[in-house]
Structures are given as C-alpha cells and as structure tokens.
Amino acid sequence: MTDDAQRELEQRALRNVRGLVDRMEADDTLSRRKQVKLVAWLAAAVLVGLLVVLALMSRKEPRGVEYPATPKPGQVVPQGPRAPQ
C-alpha cells in the first residue's frame, strides 16, 4: 500500500468518526430537549392539579359534627330500638 492510499484511508476513517461524533452529539441535544419539555409538562400538570385541589377545598363548606344534646339531670331521653341479642 502506498503512502497516498494509506493517507486516504486514514482521512476517510477520521471523517467517518467525526460524522459519528456529530450524530451522537445531535442525539444527545435532542434527548436533553425532550427531557426539559417533559419536566416542564410534568411541572405544569402538578401545578394545575394543585390548583384544582385548592379550589375544591376552598369551595367545600366545612361540616360541623353534631353532638346529641346532653340530657338535663332527671330528664328521660328516648332511645332507638335495640338489636336482638
């Protein structure tokens, strides 16, 4: 093999490697962009979900617990039917 042929093979190999590196860098850049978009969408979804939960919580009227009136001393309190034993 002559020096010119050897040099041509080396240059072709270097161009192939450079093309591969360029393609890998482009894929990495695209992957990073996709990840940033995904994180942005997830953050927006979480924010919307949080706002919906807060809106629902603020609209709901608080319900108090009703306790039965305490009988006065000597007062008879009617009781409901008892379950058979």
Residue 85 belongs to a domain? no
Q: How many domains does the chain have?
A: 1
Per-residue model confidence as pLDDT tens digits over 5-58: 999 999 999 999 999 999 999 999 999 999 999 999 999 999 999 999 998 888
Residue 1 belongs to a domain? yes
Residue 70 belongs to a domain? no
Contact 76, 82 (CB under 8 A): no
In the prediction, which pLDDT does 60 show?
66
Check pLDDT > 80 for residue 63: no
Residue 8 lies in domain = 1-53
Residue 49 belongs to a domain? yes
